[in-house]
């Protein structure tokens, strides 16, 4: 591990020790942040799986109902029945924060009550079931979209934090340790040399007396 370029002085040694202390504190904070991000990610990932399974079940049921409706109705009748929406819906996108990470928050507003946009004379009960199942799937699809985006952003932040933790743990802190050790050895060597010179000087002065 290459040491940091620094002058072998006591002032520089003191500065390096302070910087190492900051790096160690930063490393602990980053590790704590990474662990909390992973915990939050697991919560979102589990919710994502639950939503995906529920949405797939509802959409599969809706598709089966459409197939049954198609068997008893013509394409023109189905197209005419579904030409107009059952009710108006508005989707609003906002952002919320998860550990200072912006994630989307989707909200939907719909009219009160529910009514089919077609008459019952030329339609089948299977078409009613399909429309109802799709309407129930929409809020789940919105939540699934925001949860999946949150998972994606948390995963990106986990990777960034992991790289920072590794850089501190395996690069910066070892470099500080190596440089501090090198300076300490150099200072100790200088102290020994100074002590040796003082002893020799003392011996010479005593010999001259």
pLDDT in tens, 57-87: 999 998 998 888 888 887 777 777 777 666 6
**DSSP states of 26-65:** HHHHHHHHHHHHHHHHHHHHHHHHHHHHHHHHHHHHHHHH
Q: What integer pLDDT is reported at residue 66 of this predicted model?
A: 83
pLDDT value at position 112? 66
The answer to whether 77 and 123 have CB atoms below 8 angstroms apart is: yes
What count of Cα atoms within 13 Å lies in the side-chain half-sphere of residue 86?
16
Q: What is the pLDDT of residue 91?
A: 85
Q: What is the pLDDT at residue 36?
A: 95
> Phi and psi (nearest 5°) for 176?
-60, -45
**Which residue stretches of the chain have pLDDT < 50?**
none
User: Which uninterrupted H or E stretch holds 109?
Assistant: strand 101-110
Q: Is 102 helix (H, G, I), strand (E, B) or coil?
A: strand
pLDDT at 27: 96
Instruction: Report pTM.
Output: 0.77
Q: What pLDDT is stored for residue 34 in this prediction?
A: 95
């Amino acid at each position: 591990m290459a040491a940091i370029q620094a002058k072998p002085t006591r002032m520089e040694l003191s500065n390096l020790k302070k910087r190492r202390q900051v790096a160690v504190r930063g490393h602990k904070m980053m590790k704590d942040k990474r662990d909390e991000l992973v915990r939050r990610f697991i919560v979102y990932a589990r919710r994502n799986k639950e939503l995906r399974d529920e949405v797939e079940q509802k959409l599969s049921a809706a598709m089966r109902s459409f197939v049954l409706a198609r068997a008893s109705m013509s394409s023109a009748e189905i197209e005419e029945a579904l030409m107009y929406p059952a009710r108006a819906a508005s989707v609003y996108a906002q952002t919320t924060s998860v550990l200072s990470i912006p994630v989307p928050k989707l909200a939907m507003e719909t009219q009160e009550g529910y009514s089919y946009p077609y008459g019952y004379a030329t339609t089948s009960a299977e078409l009613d079931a399909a429309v109802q199942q799709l309407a129930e799937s929409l809020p789940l699809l919105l939540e699934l979209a925001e949860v999946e985006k949150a998972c994606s952003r948390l995963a990106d932040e986990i990777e960034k934090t992991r790289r920072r933790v590794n850089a501190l743990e395996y690069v910066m802190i070892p470099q500080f340790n190596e440089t501090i050790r090198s300076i300490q050895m150099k200072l100790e060597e200088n102290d020994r040399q100074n002590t040796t010179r003082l002893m020799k000087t003392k011996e010479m002065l005593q010999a001259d007396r």
